[in-house]
Amino acid sequence: MNPQPEAKGQFSRSSITWPIIFVTVVLAVFAIFLLYANLGHYDDDYDSGVYLESARMMLRGSHLYATIFDSQPPLWLPLVYYSMRLFGMSFLSGQLLSATMGLIVIATTGLIALQLSGWTGGWVAAAIVILSPMELEWSRAVSPEVPASAFAVAGMAFAIRYTRSGGRIGLSLASALIAASVLVKLLGLFTLPALFLAIGFRCWMTSVGKRLSWLPLITDAILAIGTFGIVILCAFLVFGPSRVWHQAVEFHWAARSAITSDTMPRTSTVIAQFFAHDWLLVAASMFAVLGVVSVPEGIVLAGWITFTLTGILFHHPLFSHHLVVLVPPVAIAAGLGWCRFWNRLSRWVNSGRACREGREFATAGLAILTVISLSALAARQAAWQINSVLHIATDSADLKSAQLIVSMTGKNSAILTDAQGIAFAAGRDMPPQLSDTSFVRIASGYLTAAQVIAAAEQSDVQLFLLWSGRLALLPEVLRWAEWRFPYHASLGKGREIYSMSPLTCSS
Protein backbone atom coordinates (compact mmCIF):
# COMPACT_ATOMS: atom_id res chain seq x y z
CA MET A 1 0.00 0.00 0.00
CA ASN A 2 1.10 3.55 -0.70
CA PRO A 3 1.44 6.05 2.12
CA GLN A 4 -1.33 8.51 2.75
CA PRO A 5 -1.01 11.34 0.21
CA GLU A 6 -1.29 14.09 2.81
CA ALA A 7 1.88 12.69 4.50
CA LYS A 8 0.75 13.95 7.88
CA GLY A 9 0.26 10.59 9.49
CA GLN A 10 -3.39 11.35 10.26
CA PHE A 11 -5.66 8.38 9.84
CA SER A 12 -9.25 7.55 10.60
CA ARG A 13 -11.25 4.38 11.01
CA SER A 14 -12.61 4.78 7.49
CA SER A 15 -9.05 4.75 6.09
CA ILE A 16 -8.42 1.24 7.45
CA THR A 17 -9.11 -1.13 4.56
CA TRP A 18 -8.82 -4.91 4.27
CA PRO A 19 -5.38 -4.77 2.59
CA ILE A 20 -4.13 -2.62 5.48
CA ILE A 21 -5.54 -5.09 8.01
CA PHE A 22 -4.01 -8.02 6.11
CA VAL A 23 -0.46 -6.58 5.98
CA THR A 24 -0.63 -5.49 9.62
CA VAL A 25 -1.79 -8.92 10.77
CA VAL A 26 0.89 -10.70 8.72
CA LEU A 27 3.62 -8.55 10.29
CA ALA A 28 2.16 -9.06 13.77
CA VAL A 29 1.92 -12.84 13.38
CA PHE A 30 5.47 -13.05 12.04
CA ALA A 31 6.79 -10.93 14.91
CA ILE A 32 4.96 -13.03 17.51
CA PHE A 33 6.30 -16.22 15.95
CA LEU A 34 9.91 -14.98 16.01
CA LEU A 35 9.68 -13.65 19.57
CA TYR A 36 7.82 -16.51 21.26
CA ALA A 37 8.73 -19.67 19.29
CA ASN A 38 10.92 -22.16 21.13
CA LEU A 39 11.30 -20.15 24.34
CA GLY A 40 12.16 -21.81 27.66
CA HIS A 41 15.59 -23.08 26.64
CA TYR A 42 18.69 -22.69 28.79
CA ASP A 43 20.53 -19.42 28.17
CA ASP A 44 24.27 -19.49 28.82
CA ASP A 45 24.63 -15.70 28.77
CA TYR A 46 26.26 -14.67 32.05
CA ASP A 47 24.06 -11.60 32.65
CA SER A 48 20.85 -13.57 32.09
CA GLY A 49 21.93 -16.02 34.78
CA VAL A 50 22.68 -13.17 37.19
CA TYR A 51 19.26 -11.58 36.70
CA LEU A 52 17.37 -14.86 37.00
CA GLU A 53 19.22 -16.04 40.09
CA SER A 54 18.85 -12.59 41.69
CA ALA A 55 15.11 -12.61 41.05
CA ARG A 56 14.97 -16.15 42.43
CA MET A 57 16.65 -14.95 45.61
CA MET A 58 14.04 -12.17 45.83
CA LEU A 59 11.36 -14.86 45.72
CA ARG A 60 13.25 -16.67 48.47
CA GLY A 61 13.00 -13.62 50.73
CA SER A 62 16.19 -11.65 50.07
CA HIS A 63 15.94 -7.89 49.57
CA LEU A 64 17.10 -5.95 46.53
CA TYR A 65 20.11 -3.67 47.18
CA ALA A 66 20.07 -4.56 50.91
CA THR A 67 21.30 -8.16 50.57
CA ILE A 68 21.19 -8.64 46.78
CA PHE A 69 23.80 -6.64 44.89
CA ASP A 70 22.19 -5.11 41.79
CA SER A 71 24.11 -2.96 39.33
CA GLN A 72 20.93 -2.08 37.41
CA PRO A 73 18.34 0.59 38.28
CA PRO A 74 15.48 -0.46 40.59
CA LEU A 75 12.77 -1.36 38.07
CA TRP A 76 14.52 -4.15 36.15
CA LEU A 77 14.78 -6.98 38.68
CA PRO A 78 11.24 -6.38 40.04
CA LEU A 79 9.98 -6.89 36.48
CA VAL A 80 11.79 -10.25 36.33
CA TYR A 81 10.54 -11.06 39.85
CA TYR A 82 6.88 -10.48 38.97
CA SER A 83 7.25 -12.41 35.72
CA MET A 84 8.49 -15.34 37.78
CA ARG A 85 5.55 -15.01 40.13
CA LEU A 86 3.22 -15.21 37.15
CA PHE A 87 4.92 -17.89 35.05
CA GLY A 88 7.05 -19.85 37.49
CA MET A 89 10.71 -20.03 38.45
CA SER A 90 12.11 -20.89 35.03
CA PHE A 91 14.05 -19.50 32.09
CA LEU A 92 10.73 -19.24 30.27
CA SER A 93 9.37 -16.62 32.67
CA GLY A 94 12.29 -14.27 32.11
CA GLN A 95 12.29 -14.82 28.35
CA LEU A 96 8.55 -14.16 28.15
CA LEU A 97 9.14 -10.78 29.78
CA SER A 98 11.81 -9.82 27.24
CA ALA A 99 9.80 -11.16 24.28
CA THR A 100 6.74 -9.15 25.33
CA MET A 101 8.86 -6.03 25.67
CA GLY A 102 10.32 -6.75 22.24
CA LEU A 103 6.81 -6.89 20.82
CA ILE A 104 6.09 -3.50 22.40
CA VAL A 105 9.21 -2.09 20.73
CA ILE A 106 7.96 -3.29 17.33
CA ALA A 107 4.43 -1.96 17.88
CA THR A 108 5.47 1.47 19.18
CA THR A 109 8.14 1.87 16.50
CA GLY A 110 5.51 1.20 13.85
CA LEU A 111 3.05 3.52 15.60
CA ILE A 112 5.47 6.47 15.57
CA ALA A 113 6.20 5.98 11.87
CA LEU A 114 2.45 5.61 11.24
CA GLN A 115 1.77 8.96 12.94
CA LEU A 116 4.40 10.67 10.81
CA SER A 117 4.05 9.06 7.38
CA GLY A 118 1.10 6.69 7.16
CA TRP A 119 0.70 2.93 7.02
CA THR A 120 3.62 2.17 4.70
CA GLY A 121 6.05 4.01 6.94
CA GLY A 122 4.73 2.10 9.94
CA TRP A 123 5.08 -1.24 8.20
CA VAL A 124 8.61 -0.56 6.99
CA ALA A 125 9.78 0.69 10.40
CA ALA A 126 8.25 -2.31 12.18
CA ALA A 127 9.70 -4.74 9.62
CA ILE A 128 13.21 -3.35 10.09
CA VAL A 129 12.98 -3.97 13.83
CA ILE A 130 11.48 -7.44 13.32
CA LEU A 131 14.28 -8.40 10.93
CA SER A 132 17.12 -7.02 13.06
CA PRO A 133 19.22 -9.99 14.29
CA MET A 134 20.48 -8.11 17.34
CA GLU A 135 16.99 -6.95 18.28
CA LEU A 136 15.67 -10.52 17.99
CA GLU A 137 18.55 -12.01 19.98
CA TRP A 138 18.12 -9.69 22.95
CA SER A 139 14.33 -9.79 22.78
CA ARG A 140 14.62 -13.50 23.57
CA ALA A 141 17.25 -13.17 26.33
CA VAL A 142 16.80 -12.06 29.93
CA SER A 143 18.47 -8.68 29.60
CA PRO A 144 17.29 -5.12 30.38
CA GLU A 145 18.24 -3.42 27.11
CA VAL A 146 15.11 -4.30 25.11
CA PRO A 147 12.70 -3.60 28.04
CA ALA A 148 14.40 -0.22 28.56
CA SER A 149 14.04 0.45 24.82
CA ALA A 150 10.34 -0.51 24.98
CA PHE A 151 9.62 2.14 27.61
CA ALA A 152 11.72 4.73 25.76
CA VAL A 153 10.05 4.17 22.37
CA ALA A 154 6.59 4.20 23.98
CA GLY A 155 7.54 7.50 25.63
CA MET A 156 8.62 8.95 22.28
CA ALA A 157 5.33 7.82 20.73
CA PHE A 158 3.52 10.02 23.23
CA ALA A 159 6.09 12.79 22.69
CA ILE A 160 5.42 12.81 18.92
CA ARG A 161 1.70 12.88 19.61
CA TYR A 162 2.28 15.82 21.94
CA THR A 163 4.14 17.76 19.21
CA ARG A 164 0.97 17.61 17.12
CA SER A 165 -1.79 17.99 19.71
CA GLY A 166 -0.05 19.86 22.50
CA GLY A 167 -1.80 17.65 25.04
CA ARG A 168 0.01 17.84 28.36
CA ILE A 169 -1.33 14.46 29.47
CA GLY A 170 0.59 12.96 26.55
CA LEU A 171 3.68 14.92 27.59
CA SER A 172 3.40 13.64 31.17
CA LEU A 173 3.04 10.07 29.93
CA ALA A 174 6.06 10.51 27.66
CA SER A 175 8.16 11.78 30.55
CA ALA A 176 6.97 9.03 32.91
CA LEU A 177 7.71 6.29 30.36
CA ILE A 178 11.19 7.62 29.65
CA ALA A 179 11.78 7.74 33.41
CA ALA A 180 10.70 4.08 33.55
CA SER A 181 13.20 3.36 30.77
CA VAL A 182 15.98 4.91 32.87
CA LEU A 183 14.83 2.87 35.87
CA VAL A 184 15.27 -0.32 33.82
CA LYS A 185 18.63 0.60 32.28
CA LEU A 186 20.60 3.84 32.46
CA LEU A 187 20.80 3.78 28.64
CA GLY A 188 17.29 5.25 28.78
CA LEU A 189 18.93 8.60 29.56
CA PHE A 190 19.93 8.84 25.89
CA THR A 191 16.25 9.40 24.98
CA LEU A 192 15.66 12.21 27.48
CA PRO A 193 17.20 15.04 25.38
CA ALA A 194 14.91 14.09 22.48
CA LEU A 195 11.90 14.66 24.76
CA PHE A 196 13.01 18.22 25.49
CA LEU A 197 13.71 18.73 21.80
CA ALA A 198 10.08 17.73 21.17
CA ILE A 199 8.94 20.34 23.71
CA GLY A 200 11.00 23.04 21.99
CA PHE A 201 9.74 21.97 18.57
CA ARG A 202 6.11 22.13 19.73
CA CYS A 203 6.53 25.61 21.17
CA TRP A 204 8.31 26.84 18.06
CA MET A 205 5.63 25.48 15.69
CA THR A 206 2.80 27.08 17.69
CA SER A 207 4.51 30.46 18.16
CA VAL A 208 2.77 33.42 16.56
CA GLY A 209 4.87 34.87 13.77
CA LYS A 210 7.59 32.36 14.58
CA ARG A 211 8.52 34.33 17.70
CA LEU A 212 9.09 31.85 20.47
CA SER A 213 6.66 32.11 23.36
CA TRP A 214 8.65 31.39 26.50
CA LEU A 215 5.79 30.74 28.92
CA PRO A 216 4.44 27.54 27.26
CA LEU A 217 8.02 26.35 26.74
CA ILE A 218 8.92 26.83 30.41
CA THR A 219 5.61 25.36 31.61
CA ASP A 220 5.92 22.21 29.50
CA ALA A 221 9.59 21.79 30.39
CA ILE A 222 8.80 22.04 34.10
CA LEU A 223 5.98 19.50 33.68
CA ALA A 224 8.33 17.06 31.94
CA ILE A 225 11.13 17.54 34.46
CA GLY A 226 8.73 17.28 37.38
CA THR A 227 7.11 14.08 36.12
CA PHE A 228 10.49 12.52 35.36
CA GLY A 229 11.87 13.52 38.75
CA ILE A 230 8.88 12.25 40.72
CA VAL A 231 8.99 8.81 39.06
CA ILE A 232 12.73 8.49 39.65
CA LEU A 233 12.50 9.73 43.25
CA CYS A 234 9.66 7.35 44.14
CA ALA A 235 11.67 4.36 42.88
CA PHE A 236 14.75 5.47 44.83
CA LEU A 237 12.74 5.95 48.02
CA VAL A 238 11.23 2.46 47.80
CA PHE A 239 14.63 0.74 47.77
CA GLY A 240 16.73 3.26 49.70
CA PRO A 241 18.34 6.21 47.88
CA SER A 242 21.89 5.68 49.16
CA ARG A 243 21.96 1.95 48.32
CA VAL A 244 20.47 2.46 44.86
CA TRP A 245 22.89 5.31 44.11
CA HIS A 246 25.88 3.31 45.34
CA GLN A 247 25.11 0.14 43.35
CA ALA A 248 23.28 1.38 40.25
CA VAL A 249 25.03 4.71 39.61
CA GLU A 250 28.37 4.99 41.42
CA PHE A 251 29.23 1.43 40.42
CA HIS A 252 29.16 2.38 36.72
CA TRP A 253 31.53 5.30 37.29
CA ALA A 254 33.87 2.96 39.17
CA ALA A 255 33.63 0.46 36.32
CA ARG A 256 34.73 3.10 33.79
CA SER A 257 37.86 3.75 35.84
CA ALA A 258 38.57 0.07 36.52
CA ILE A 259 38.51 -0.97 32.86
CA THR A 260 41.55 0.66 31.32
CA SER A 261 41.28 -0.70 27.77
CA ASP A 262 41.46 1.86 24.96
CA THR A 263 37.88 3.09 24.67
CA MET A 264 37.47 4.37 21.11
CA PRO A 265 39.05 1.39 19.26
CA ARG A 266 36.91 -1.01 21.29
CA THR A 267 33.79 1.11 20.75
CA SER A 268 34.46 1.28 17.00
CA THR A 269 34.93 -2.49 16.87
CA VAL A 270 31.68 -3.16 18.73
CA ILE A 271 29.70 -0.80 16.47
CA ALA A 272 31.28 -2.29 13.34
CA GLN A 273 30.40 -5.81 14.49
CA PHE A 274 26.84 -4.70 15.23
CA PHE A 275 26.26 -3.34 11.73
CA ALA A 276 28.11 -6.27 10.16
CA HIS A 277 25.36 -8.54 11.53
CA ASP A 278 22.51 -6.29 10.39
CA TRP A 279 22.89 -5.47 6.70
CA LEU A 280 19.22 -4.56 6.37
CA LEU A 281 19.61 -1.85 9.01
CA VAL A 282 22.71 -0.57 7.21
CA ALA A 283 20.79 -0.43 3.93
CA ALA A 284 17.86 1.27 5.62
CA SER A 285 20.14 3.92 7.12
CA MET A 286 20.49 5.63 3.73
CA PHE A 287 16.72 6.16 3.77
CA ALA A 288 16.91 7.43 7.36
CA VAL A 289 18.68 10.58 6.16
CA LEU A 290 15.85 11.19 3.70
CA GLY A 291 13.31 10.43 6.42
CA VAL A 292 14.41 13.07 8.92
CA VAL A 293 13.93 15.81 6.31
CA SER A 294 10.58 14.53 5.06
CA VAL A 295 8.45 15.75 7.99
CA PRO A 296 8.75 18.73 10.38
CA GLU A 297 9.09 16.36 13.33
CA GLY A 298 12.17 14.98 11.63
CA ILE A 299 14.26 17.32 13.77
CA VAL A 300 13.06 15.47 16.88
CA LEU A 301 13.83 12.14 15.23
CA ALA A 302 17.28 13.34 14.13
CA GLY A 303 17.96 14.51 17.67
CA TRP A 304 16.86 11.15 19.09
CA ILE A 305 19.27 9.29 16.78
CA THR A 306 22.11 11.76 17.40
CA PHE A 307 21.78 11.79 21.19
CA THR A 308 21.55 7.99 21.31
CA LEU A 309 24.56 7.47 19.06
CA THR A 310 26.58 10.05 21.02
CA GLY A 311 25.69 8.37 24.31
CA ILE A 312 26.73 4.99 22.92
CA LEU A 313 30.05 6.36 21.67
CA PHE A 314 30.90 7.60 25.17
CA HIS A 315 29.53 4.56 26.98
CA HIS A 316 32.28 2.52 28.64
CA PRO A 317 32.48 -0.43 28.73
CA LEU A 318 30.37 -0.86 25.61
CA PHE A 319 28.92 -4.24 24.62
CA SER A 320 27.04 -5.12 21.45
CA HIS A 321 23.68 -5.57 23.17
CA HIS A 322 23.74 -1.92 24.28
CA LEU A 323 23.28 -0.90 20.64
CA VAL A 324 19.74 -2.27 20.41
CA VAL A 325 18.53 1.12 21.69
CA LEU A 326 19.67 2.58 18.35
CA VAL A 327 17.53 0.27 16.20
CA PRO A 328 14.03 1.84 16.76
CA PRO A 329 14.87 5.49 15.93
CA VAL A 330 16.85 4.47 12.84
CA ALA A 331 13.99 2.18 11.76
CA ILE A 332 11.45 5.00 12.18
CA ALA A 333 13.55 7.42 10.12
CA ALA A 334 14.07 4.73 7.48
CA GLY A 335 10.31 4.12 7.31
CA LEU A 336 9.71 7.82 6.69
CA GLY A 337 12.48 7.94 4.10
CA TRP A 338 11.12 4.93 2.28
CA CYS A 339 7.70 6.59 1.99
CA ARG A 340 9.22 9.71 0.44
CA PHE A 341 11.32 7.63 -1.91
CA TRP A 342 8.34 5.51 -2.95
CA ASN A 343 6.14 8.56 -3.56
CA ARG A 344 8.73 10.13 -5.83
CA LEU A 345 9.25 6.89 -7.70
CA SER A 346 5.49 6.53 -8.20
CA ARG A 347 5.22 10.09 -9.52
CA TRP A 348 8.02 9.42 -12.01
CA VAL A 349 6.32 6.31 -13.32
CA ASN A 350 2.81 7.81 -13.42
CA SER A 351 3.94 11.00 -15.15
CA GLY A 352 5.46 9.03 -18.01
CA ARG A 353 8.73 10.97 -17.81
CA ALA A 354 10.59 7.73 -17.15
CA CYS A 355 9.59 6.60 -20.63
CA ARG A 356 10.28 9.92 -22.42
CA GLU A 357 13.66 10.90 -21.05
CA GLY A 358 16.67 8.63 -20.88
CA ARG A 359 18.00 10.18 -17.69
CA GLU A 360 14.67 9.76 -15.92
CA PHE A 361 14.44 6.20 -17.24
CA ALA A 362 17.86 5.39 -15.81
CA THR A 363 16.93 6.95 -12.48
CA ALA A 364 13.69 4.97 -12.30
CA GLY A 365 15.55 1.79 -13.25
CA LEU A 366 18.08 2.34 -10.47
CA ALA A 367 15.25 2.96 -8.02
CA ILE A 368 13.46 -0.22 -9.06
CA LEU A 369 16.73 -2.15 -8.71
CA THR A 370 17.06 -0.73 -5.19
CA VAL A 371 13.55 -1.92 -4.32
CA ILE A 372 14.29 -5.43 -5.62
CA SER A 373 17.64 -5.62 -3.79
CA LEU A 374 16.15 -4.51 -0.49
CA SER A 375 13.27 -6.96 -0.88
CA ALA A 376 15.73 -9.80 -1.51
CA LEU A 377 17.81 -8.73 1.51
CA ALA A 378 14.70 -8.62 3.69
CA ALA A 379 13.64 -12.10 2.50
CA ARG A 380 17.12 -13.47 3.24
CA GLN A 381 17.07 -11.88 6.69
CA ALA A 382 13.61 -13.31 7.39
CA ALA A 383 14.84 -16.80 6.52
CA TRP A 384 17.83 -16.36 8.83
CA GLN A 385 15.57 -15.18 11.67
CA ILE A 386 13.26 -18.16 11.27
CA ASN A 387 16.19 -20.56 11.28
CA SER A 388 17.70 -18.97 14.39
CA VAL A 389 14.56 -19.47 16.50
CA LEU A 390 13.86 -23.00 15.28
CA HIS A 391 17.35 -24.41 15.82
CA ILE A 392 18.51 -23.87 19.41
CA ALA A 393 21.08 -26.11 21.07
CA THR A 394 19.59 -27.84 24.11
CA ASP A 395 22.65 -29.84 25.21
CA SER A 396 25.51 -28.01 26.89
CA ALA A 397 28.24 -28.46 29.48
CA ASP A 398 26.38 -25.94 31.64
CA LEU A 399 23.31 -28.15 31.87
CA LYS A 400 25.43 -31.20 32.65
CA SER A 401 27.09 -29.31 35.50
CA ALA A 402 23.65 -28.25 36.76
CA GLN A 403 22.57 -31.90 36.81
CA LEU A 404 25.76 -32.75 38.68
CA ILE A 405 24.98 -30.10 41.31
CA VAL A 406 21.45 -31.49 41.73
CA SER A 407 22.83 -34.98 42.29
CA MET A 408 25.36 -33.79 44.89
CA THR A 409 23.34 -31.32 46.96
CA GLY A 410 20.02 -31.17 48.75
CA LYS A 411 17.12 -29.06 47.54
CA ASN A 412 17.67 -26.42 50.21
CA SER A 413 21.46 -26.45 50.02
CA ALA A 414 23.31 -23.25 49.20
CA ILE A 415 26.09 -23.26 46.64
CA LEU A 416 28.70 -20.79 45.40
CA THR A 417 29.51 -20.32 41.73
CA ASP A 418 30.59 -17.65 39.25
CA ALA A 419 28.06 -19.00 36.69
CA GLN A 420 24.75 -17.97 38.21
CA GLY A 421 22.74 -19.41 35.32
CA ILE A 422 23.93 -22.88 36.32
CA ALA A 423 22.78 -22.30 39.91
CA PHE A 424 19.40 -21.17 38.58
CA ALA A 425 19.12 -24.18 36.27
CA ALA A 426 19.93 -26.46 39.22
CA GLY A 427 17.35 -24.73 41.42
CA ARG A 428 19.88 -24.00 44.15
CA ASP A 429 20.25 -20.94 46.36
CA MET A 430 23.33 -18.76 46.35
CA PRO A 431 24.46 -16.25 48.95
CA PRO A 432 22.35 -13.26 47.82
CA GLN A 433 25.34 -10.93 48.09
CA LEU A 434 27.05 -13.08 45.44
CA SER A 435 24.27 -13.36 42.86
CA ASP A 436 26.49 -11.09 40.74
CA THR A 437 30.21 -11.92 40.58
CA SER A 438 31.03 -10.08 37.35
CA PHE A 439 34.50 -9.20 36.15
CA VAL A 440 33.59 -5.52 36.41
CA ARG A 441 32.41 -5.84 40.00
CA ILE A 442 35.65 -7.57 40.98
CA ALA A 443 37.89 -5.20 38.96
CA SER A 444 36.21 -2.10 40.42
CA GLY A 445 36.67 -3.31 44.01
CA TYR A 446 32.94 -3.71 44.63
CA LEU A 447 33.54 -7.39 45.39
CA THR A 448 36.54 -8.57 47.39
CA ALA A 449 37.77 -12.00 48.44
CA ALA A 450 36.89 -11.24 52.07
CA GLN A 451 33.29 -10.45 51.07
CA VAL A 452 33.01 -13.65 49.04
CA ILE A 453 34.33 -15.81 51.86
CA ALA A 454 32.18 -14.10 54.53
CA ALA A 455 28.99 -14.46 52.45
CA ALA A 456 29.76 -18.10 51.64
CA GLU A 457 30.43 -18.94 55.29
CA GLN A 458 27.26 -17.16 56.39
CA SER A 459 25.16 -19.16 53.93
CA ASP A 460 27.02 -22.40 54.75
CA VAL A 461 27.59 -23.27 51.09
CA GLN A 462 27.91 -27.00 50.42
CA LEU A 463 29.49 -26.80 46.98
CA PHE A 464 31.69 -24.37 45.08
CA LEU A 465 31.72 -24.44 41.26
CA LEU A 466 34.43 -22.36 39.61
CA TRP A 467 33.16 -22.15 36.05
CA SER A 468 33.56 -18.81 34.26
CA GLY A 469 36.92 -17.80 35.71
CA ARG A 470 35.56 -14.74 37.47
CA LEU A 471 36.19 -15.91 41.03
CA ALA A 472 39.59 -17.21 39.92
CA LEU A 473 40.60 -13.53 39.90
CA LEU A 474 40.49 -13.76 43.71
CA PRO A 475 43.24 -16.25 44.71
CA GLU A 476 42.27 -16.01 48.38
CA VAL A 477 38.90 -17.54 47.51
CA LEU A 478 40.59 -20.53 45.87
CA ARG A 479 42.83 -21.06 48.89
CA TRP A 480 39.76 -20.85 51.14
CA ALA A 481 37.95 -23.42 48.96
CA GLU A 482 40.87 -25.85 49.19
CA TRP A 483 40.85 -25.48 52.96
CA ARG A 484 37.07 -25.68 53.48
CA PHE A 485 35.99 -28.45 51.09
CA PRO A 486 37.37 -31.95 51.53
CA TYR A 487 36.56 -33.06 47.98
CA HIS A 488 37.85 -31.43 44.79
CA ALA A 489 37.89 -32.32 41.10
CA SER A 490 38.92 -30.63 37.87
CA LEU A 491 36.29 -30.42 35.12
CA GLY A 492 38.72 -29.20 32.44
CA LYS A 493 39.16 -25.80 30.79
CA GLY A 494 40.07 -24.25 34.13
CA ARG A 495 36.79 -25.33 35.72
CA GLU A 496 36.91 -26.73 39.24
CA ILE A 497 34.37 -28.17 41.65
CA TYR A 498 34.71 -28.31 45.43
CA SER A 499 32.24 -30.19 47.60
CA MET A 500 31.46 -31.21 51.17
CA SER A 501 30.31 -34.63 49.91
CA PRO A 502 32.08 -37.21 47.74
CA LEU A 503 32.17 -36.21 44.10
CA THR A 504 30.22 -38.20 41.54
CA CYS A 505 32.24 -36.93 38.57
CA SER A 506 35.58 -38.13 37.27
CA SER A 507 38.54 -35.84 37.83
Prediction pTM value:
0.90
pLDDT in tens, 477-496: 999 999 999 999 998 888 99
Find out whether 65 and 250 touch, Cβ atoms under 8 Å.
no
Which residues of the chain register pLDDT less than 50?
1-9, 13-14, 506-507
- CA dist 192 to 151, 188, 229, Å? 12, 7, 12
Q: Look at residue 357 in the predicted model and tell me its pLDDT.
A: 55
Q: Determine the pLDDT at residue 79.
A: 97
Q: Is 100 exposed, middle or buried (0-12, 13-18, 19+ CB in 10 A)?
A: middle
How much is the pLDDT for 326?
Answer: 93
What's the rounded Cα separation, in Å, for the pair 66 and 111? 40
Cis upstream peptide for 317 (omega within 30°): yes
| HEC string for 203-234 | HHHCCHHHCCCHHHHHHHHHHHHHHHHHHHHH
Q: How far from 401 is each of 215, 396, 407, CA to CA, in Å? A: 64, 9, 10
Question: For residue 4, what pLDDT is reported?
Answer: 40
Please enumerate, as own/partner, the contacts of 303-309 that have beta carbons within 8 Å and a separation of 24 or more: 303/193, 303/194, 303/197, 304/156, 304/191, 304/194, 304/197, 304/329, 305/329, 305/330, 305/333, 307/190, 307/191, 307/193, 307/194, 308/190, 308/191
Angle at 42 (CA atoms; ends 39, 269), nearest 5 degrees: 95
